[in-house]
């Protein structure tokens, strides 16, 4: 039954552009983008249990890398792929610097990465346009065709992220990351090369947001630092994964769709206060549904209170 539903959902996502209007197409493109972001975060946050707040940094870096490359005349798909690679390489280097930190220290160190990149982007006016933002070349095709193009681009990224997750979950890497999540010191004792595994997880968690950022930049044609390094881009994927079940394969996708559906139907209508309402939802989610909607996915590690350590 579940398998049948999944196949139906897959077919629907493939044929959707032919049947849906532009509004639905835009909404589903956003959903696919956030699915990819949530799946990306799931590698480091769900599997390895490292509370990363760097998704916005990777997204913004991808957006700016893609945008700048395109304004320098690189064709769009090449710019996207290169941008994703840049984000992944950046994460691999960053991982060597901050992945030895644990707990709070890691969380905050990853949180400030976006702040630093934002400031660098703001200051490098020659390349990025600074606070004025960056205009991307407009595609010489019709609006509907554009919408379909970006839909399929996001679909490919999300589908790749999903299959990578499925692979990782069955592979040594996923097994090692779960060990790290449960008890990192024990994993080291058992001979898991934790540093390499964590760097791999962080790299994967940057690759997909980087790609998404680059596609997003082409999609909206204009990016500025406050928009693409927004801290909510780090937080929303976390909430989605918590909602759907951390460390699971399909959980992040469920979470992303459900979250955006709620956003679209409920709190988007409260324009003045929609971020505040999001805050209320986050609080309720943490207090009342810490295991996510599917229950079993999120292994709630209750440490003994005395030995809480970063």
Q: C-beta of 53: minimal distance to other proteins in Å?
A: 8
Whether residue 59 contacts residue 209, with contact meaning beta carbons closer than 8 Å, is answered with yes
Measured CA to CA, the distance from residue 99 to residue 197 in angstroms comes to: 10
Q: Does 271 bind other proteins (CB under 8 A)?
A: no
Q: Does 123 bind other proteins (CB under 8 A)?
A: yes
Backbone torsions φ then ψ of 136, nearest 5 degrees:
-100, 155
Q: E-strand spans in 98-197?
A: 134-135
Q: C-beta of 112: minimal distance to other proteins in Å?
A: 5
Which DSSP symbol is given to 222? E
* Residues in 222-251 at the binding interface with other proteins, rule: CB under 8 A: 231, 235, 238-239, 242
Site string for other proteins, 57-76 (x = CB under 8 A): --------------------
Q: C-beta of 203: minimal distance to other proteins in Å?
A: 18
Q: Does 101 bind other proteins (CB under 8 A)?
A: yes
Q: Count residues near other proteins (CB under 8 A).
A: 49
Measured CA to CA, the distance from residue 90 to residue 206 in angstroms comes to: 8
Single residue of 11, 108, 167, 220 touching other proteins by CB under 8 A: 108
Measured CA to CA, the distance from residue 60 to residue 233 in angstroms comes to: 9
Q: C-beta of 63: minimal distance to other proteins in Å?
A: 19
* Residues in 291-310 at the binding interface with other proteins, rule: CB under 8 A: 300-306, 308-310
> What is the number of alpha carbons within 13 Å of residue 14 lying toward its C-beta?
7
Measured CA to CA, the distance from residue 104 to residue 177 in angstroms comes to: 19
Crossing angle for the helix pair 2-19 and 22-41, nearest 10 degrees?
130
Whether residue 69 contacts residue 83, with contact meaning beta carbons closer than 8 Å, is answered with yes
Q: Does 283 bind other proteins (CB under 8 A)?
A: yes
Rule CB under 8 A: which residues touch other proteins?
Answer: 45, 49, 51, 97-98, 100-101, 103-105, 107-109, 112, 115-116, 119-120, 122-123, 231, 235, 238-239, 242, 272-273, 275-276, 278-283, 285-287, 290, 300-306, 308-310
């Amino acid at each position: 039954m579940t398998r049948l539903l999944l196949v139906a959902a897959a077919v629907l996502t493939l044929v959707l552009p032919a049947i849906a209007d532009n509004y639905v197409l835009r909404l589903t493109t956003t959903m696919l983008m956030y699915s990819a972001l949530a799946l990306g975060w799931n590698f480091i946050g769900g599997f390895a249990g490292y509370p990363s707040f760097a998704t916005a940094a990777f997204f913004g870096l991808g957006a700016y890398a893609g945008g700048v490359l395109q304004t320098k005349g690189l064709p769009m798909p090449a710019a996207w792929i290169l941008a994703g690679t840049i984000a992944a390489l950046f994460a691999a280097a960053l991982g060597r610097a901050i992945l030895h930190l644990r707990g709070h220290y890691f969380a905050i160190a990853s949180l400030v990465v976006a702040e630093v990149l934002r400031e660098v982007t703001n200051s490098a006016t020659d390349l990025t346009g600074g606070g004025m933002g960056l205009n991307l070349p407009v595609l010489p095709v019709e609006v509907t065709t554009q919408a379909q193009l970006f839909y399929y681009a996001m679909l490919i990224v999300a589908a790749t992220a999903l299959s990578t997750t499925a692979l990782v979950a069955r592979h040594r890497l996923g097994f090692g990351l779960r060990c790290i999540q449960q008890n990192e010191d024990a994993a080291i004792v058992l001979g898991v090369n934790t540093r390499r595994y964590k760097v791999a997880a962080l790299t994967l968690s940057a690759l997909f947001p980087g790609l998404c950022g680059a596609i997003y930049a082409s999609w909206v044609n204009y990016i500025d630092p406050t928009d693409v390094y927004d801290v909510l881009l780090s937080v929303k994927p976390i909430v989605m994964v918590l909602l759907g079940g951390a460390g699971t394969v399909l959980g992040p996708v469920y979470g992303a769709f459900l979250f955006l559906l709620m956003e679209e139907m409920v709190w988007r209508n409260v324009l003045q206060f929609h971020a505040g309402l999001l805050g209320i939802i986050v609080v309720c989610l943490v207090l009342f549904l810490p295991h996510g909607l599917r229950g079993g996915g999120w292994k709630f590690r209750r440490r003994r209170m005395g030995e809480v350590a970063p």
